[in-house]
Chains A and B, each alone.
Chain A
Amino acid sequence: GQNIDQPTEMTATEGAIVQINCTYQTSGFNGLFWYQQHAGEAPTFLSYNVLDGLEEKGRFSSFLSRSKGYSYLLLKELQMKDSASYLCAVIDSNYQLIWGAGTKLIIKP
């Protein structure tokens, strides 16, 4: 079966750094997305990785290791508005997007 694992919930302090991990077992791999979803809102695109390595985009970075079936999203200089759920999603061999359950990130002042 296909499986994507993320921690259910994480807590971090404003101004700090947090790393959200994602491991996956899917039938094929054609890329990995990270999406941010605020409560009651639609997911919004954060990053896309298809090759191994780190992609940096402002305060957010995403890392991929295809051999380990592993990715992480790194958020720096945390702000209160970063409180949201972070969803990891993998494109499988059928080009279908397989979603994790999401990690709820709570930022404390």
Chain B
Amino acid sequence: GAGVSQSPRYKVAKRGQDVALRCDPISGHVSLFWYQQALGQGPEFLTYFQNEAQLDKSGLPSDRFFAERPEGSVSTLKIQRTQQEDSAVYLCASSLQQGQETQYFGPGTRLLVL
């Protein structure tokens, strides 16, 4: 596709429910990033993939958060047993290579946990 796409755009979950957020990066982009953005704040790094390899997951807030990119393209961020503090916008970005390459962002998934 022309840009990064994410689905769903909006997700309302009951506390304790599991959710899965999908990211389709720009075709051919090697690097893929997940960020969490709270209202009025900048994005906070969650995890980073280079192709199918998850090279950095230091930003994942707990073991309830899990991300995968099994074939090096589409990625899924899974949150198990959601809590109210998980409510945020989850942004996915991709870049052609690692390092200094510009990151291109998807529209985000707005998650609300009730």
Contacts and interface: CB of A to CB of B under 8 A. Distances in A.
B43 interface: yes
A45 B42 contact: no
Given A89-B42, A102-B42, A97 B103 contact: yes
A101 interface: yes
Interface string A40-53: 01111100101000
- Mostly, the B contact residues are loop
B1 interface: no
Size band of the interface chain A makes with B: 20 to 34
Contacts of B35: 99
B30 to A, nearest CB: 13
B45 A97 contact: yes
B66 interface: no
A99 B100 contact: no
Size band of the interface chain B makes with A: 20 to 34
B105 interface: yes
B18 interface: no
A87 B100 CA distance: 17
B99 A45 contact: no
Contact of B42 (A44, A48, A96, A99): A99
